[in-house]
Structure 1
Amino acid sequence: MCEEQCEGSPRRLRLRQHLRPARQRRPGDFRTRVSATSGVAAAAGPGDRLAALEAELASVRAELDDLNLLYQATIEHGEAVEDQLAEANLALQTTQKRLTEELTEAANYIFSILPEPRTASPVTEWLLLPSTELGGDSFGYHDIDADHMAFYLLDVCGHGVGAALLSVTAINVLRSAALPNTDFRDPGAVLSALNDAFPMERQHNMYFTIWYGVLTRSTGVLRYASGGHPPSVLRRADGSVLTLSTPGIAIGMMEAMSYRAAECTVGAGDRLHLVSDGTFEVETSPGQMLAFQDFVDRLARSETPGEVLDWVRGLNGPGPLPDDFSLLNIRF
């Protein structure tokens, strides 16, 4: 824009007219003209010498005017560029502010759909800490009917807006039981239906892992199934520890997959911990990852999710965790 304004300005046109003959001169031209004038002076009278000097002075003044014009044009061009940079910087700041506000709004929405901690049995306590503004972890629990209650935690590959959108969509599908012809009391059937509903080819090549369990209150039977997800950890009231998982790949990676459920019984005083891989995939030293069994041992001794987070952060060292930290504790 500045280039065009300067190109067409009367000042620039006049500058070109003045500079055109000046550019054809060489640095020694002035000395040559003085020598020539001196040579003429030797053969001419005082009047001729004065006329030659006046002509030379006029030429020098013209060159000075040209230089002043060039200086003014340079200043004007610099000011125009500075104005353009200021406008661009203001637009960038405005856009950045808007994006930050939208990311904050999206993060607030993700947390708003998470369930309130339960104080009645089974009691729940949870902690979600995304590694970036928007993560791909989410979880939930709800009554399917008077005798059955579902618990689930999922982890979408990657981070950012795309992962968060897929995570929220899958959670809302589970909460609203929006999978046609699916018995939500059967964890295997739920995972198979999710796999059919969310093929990665239709989700920008994103997939997710999940652990889904259903408690039958009247019998204490807990049925569960997992798709590519870390095992959940069951600490019984007597101190024994079980890890609960079933074979199966992540949801959406391969079509027409069939997932099967397993089951165990839970009783008063038992605790179930649903985790994402971000809770334990940290380095204990350069190049050395935390062993899952060490994590299980520490998790089984914990009382709160915050206690586990502090321990993992201590292992990880300063800075954010490499992945989303999600932990859902359920006390029966």
Structure 2
Amino acid sequence: MANETAIEKSDEFRGEYELTLETWLRRRFSRLCATLFVIETIGILSWGLLLLSDLPPDSGTPDKSSLLPALALMPLSAGVLGWFYFRVAPKLEARDQIIRSASSMIVALGMIDLASMLIPDLNADGLIAIYFLHLVSSLFLPWSPSDSIRPMVPLLAAWIVVKIITSPTIDSPLLAIEIVASPLGLLPGLGVCALRMWHWRRRFRSAAMARGFGVMRREVKQARRIHESLFPEPISGPGFAFEFEFQPMRDLGGDYIHASRTPEGRIRVVLIDVTGHGLSAAMTVTRLSGELERIIAEQPDIGPAAILVTLNRYAHLVLSQHSIFATAIAAELDPADGTLRTANAGHPPAMVRRREGDVELLDDHGILLGAVDSEQFDCTETRTSLAPSELVLLYTDGVTEVRDRNGRLFGVENLAEAMRRKPAPRSWVRFITSIVDGHRVGSPEDDVLVATLAHQADAPPPSSTADQPTEPGAVE
């Protein structure tokens, strides 16, 4: 039951739950008053016709001398119902007020019915009237079994007193049994209350979950648009070409890439992979991207290693306090002479593809961001040179850690083998992501980010079509 009522008791839905239940209860209370008023009216007419009839005394009907006092009580019940319908119900707001008013009305009606037991020769059974009131009110009012019992306690107590007073044999075992068993007649009404509230809570939970899911999806879409706005566009120019492809495991991911030009015309790329996935990782990406933008704005000519050192200071002081860390790799290409500088902070190694198809790993593996303070953070730069038509591949571990149906990792070696392909595809990032998609079985288990920075004499615009591997499963 605790799990079933978690939604309506949560801060997000408690107010809506109470308001919906109050509205429903208020509407049903008015209908209960109207229905009981109609029943009382029918009773007045029926007893009036019976009083005016010429039936003989031995026909099984009560004596007319007994009918007259009983008939006089019915307008009193109708007056009570009219009072609650016209004067009380319109003023009710809170659920507790409605329940108290309903209980008071039922007690008043029940007491009037019990008064008929005191009329001689009428043989009225007030217990049946109590059961009837409880069942009808339970059919109309969306209240809990415990709420429905409250007006019955004083009515049953009053019935016991009247029963003892009017009983010719007080010490009769049958009377004792009848008194002890009298609460059992409330079971049908209690069952109706329990079943009604169970169904209603179930409908409310389903509707609340549907609305909550819809709101969450809209918010996630908005967050994804904001998240995607942080990513750069593929760029190219004289001597270089940069492109990337990002496939988050969910709508939002923890991978991020930055690309910009230095004042001297060099191309700078920083790739970050935050621990975790989904919304929490995306929020961390937003913080790191803002810090990276600040660093570059304050130091436009900052190098790859200095970028990672500065990011590590921020990650250690701020993010590590929440057990959040990140890996990163920074690369800088000078299109004028092809000089490539890279620095690594716990990230998978970059790969350089030479013009002839050879692949080199830039395995300058460092410490992940945030793990140690600035004094212990050791980050060195690796320098190499790219000839025209050569490129460097940057990627996150979502590429190499994807598994096939046998649980085998794609791995760095398979990725390097894919990079040796001849002839080279028009778009390496689309080619690599297609290889990864072909290796994967089932839903993605991590974000995938692939980027290339190429040295070109005359860089073409990034391709918009995905290259497929020449043979499915060629890279295992």
Query: Normalising TM by the smaller chain, what interval?
Result: 0.7 to 0.9
Q: Which residue of 1 aligns with 2:277?
A: 159
Displacement of 1:259 = 1.1
CA distance in 2, matches of 1:243, 1:179: 31
CA distance in 2, matches of 1:255, 1:331: 34
Contact kept? 2:333, 2:339, Cα under 8 Å? yes
1:6 counterpart (142, 148, 151): 148
Is the counterpart of residue 233 in structure 1 residue 351 in structure 2? Answer: yes
Displacement of 1:328 = 0.8
1:112 counterpart (229, 233, 237): 229
Q: Which residue of 2 aligns with 1:316?
A: 440
Is the counterpart of residue 270 in structure 1 residue 390 in structure 2? Answer: yes
The residue type equivalent to 1:83 in the other structure is W
Displacement of 1:269 = 0.9
Pair 1:271–1:328, CA change in 2 (3 A): same
Q: Which residue of 2 aligns with 1:289?
A: 409
Is the counterpart of residue 83 in structure 1 residue 207 in structure 2? Answer: no
Quick check: 319-328 or 231-240, which moved more?
231-240
Contact kept? 2:345, 2:368, Cα under 8 Å? yes
CA distance in 1, matches of 2:373, 2:249: 30
Is the counterpart of residue 327 in structure 1 residue 469 in structure 2? Answer: no
Pair 1:177–1:71, CA change in 2 (3 A): same
Q: Which residue of 2 aligns with 1:242?
A: 360
Displacement of 1:158 = 1.1
The residue type equivalent to 2:439 in the other structure is L
The residue type equivalent to 1:308 in the other structure is I
In structure 1, runs of 5+ residues without a counterpart are 21-50
The residue type equivalent to 1:326 in the other structure is L
Q: Which residue of 1 aligns with 2:328?
A: 210
Deviation per CA, 1:154-179, whole angstroms, max 9, x where unpaired?
10111122211122222233234358
The residue type equivalent to 2:278 in the other structure is G
Q: Which residue of 2 aligns with 1:220?
A: 338
Question: Structure 1 vs Structure 2: percent identity of aligned residues?
Answer: 22
Displacement of 1:11 = 4.2
Q: Which residue of 2 aligns with 1:98?
A: 215
Contact kept? 2:292, 2:311, Cα under 8 Å? no
Pair 1:279–1:191, CA change in 2 (3 A): same
Displacement of 1:306 = 2.6
CA distance in 2, matches of 1:195, 1:179: 17
Q: Secondary structure at the match of 1:199?
A: helix
Quick check: 93-102 or 187-196, which moved more?
93-102
Contact kept? 1:189, 1:260, Cα under 8 Å? no
TM-score norm. by structure 1 comes to: 0.77
Aligned Cα RMSD in Å?
3.2
Pair 1:131–1:325, CA change in 2 (3 A): same
Q: Secondary structure at the match of 2:231?
A: coil
CA distance in 1, matches of 2:333, 2:236: 17
In structure 2, runs of 5+ residues without a counterpart are 1-142, 162-167, 456-476
Q: Which residue of 1 aligns with 2:132?
A: none
Rg larger for = 2
Pair 1:233–1:149, CA change in 2 (3 A): same
- Greater helix percent: which structure? 2
Displacement of 1:89 = 3.2
Is the counterpart of residue 260 in structure 1 residue 380 in structure 2? Answer: yes
Q: Secondary structure at the match of 2:235?
A: coil
Pairs aligned (count): 298
2:292 counterpart (147, 166, 174): 174
Structure number with greater CO (CA < 8 Å, separation at least 6) is: 1
- Greater strand percent: which structure? 1
CA distance in 2, matches of 1:80, 1:13: 24
TM-score norm. by structure 2 comes to: 0.56
Displacement of 1:300 = 3.8
Q: Secondary structure at the match of 1:224?
A: strand
Q: Secondary structure at the match of 1:329?
A: strand
Q: Which residue of 2 aligns with 1:191?
A: 308
The residue type equivalent to 1:220 in the other structure is G
Displacement of 1:94 = 2.3
CA distance in 1, matches of 2:280, 2:308: 21
Displacement of 1:17 = 6.9
Deviation per CA, 1:201-220, whole angstroms, max 9, x where unpaired?
64411111111011223332
Q: Secondary structure at the match of 2:214?
A: helix
Displacement of 1:183 = 6.8
Contact kept? 2:263, 2:300, Cα under 8 Å? no
Contact kept? 2:296, 2:302, Cα under 8 Å? no
Q: Secondary structure at the match of 1:198?
A: helix
Deviation per CA, 1:267-302, whole angstroms, max 9, x where unpaired?
321122111111111234534323311211113426
Pair 1:224–1:183, CA change in 2 (3 A): farther
1:131 counterpart (243, 249, 257): 249
CA distance in 1, matches of 2:248, 2:153: 58
Contact kept? 1:12, 1:73, Cα under 8 Å? no
1:147 counterpart (253, 265, 272): 265
Displacement of 1:114 = 1.1
Q: Which residue of 2 aligns with 1:306?
A: 430
CA distance in 1, matches of 2:183, 2:447: 66
Q: Secondary structure at the match of 1:211?
A: strand
Contact kept? 1:148, 1:185, Cα under 8 Å? no
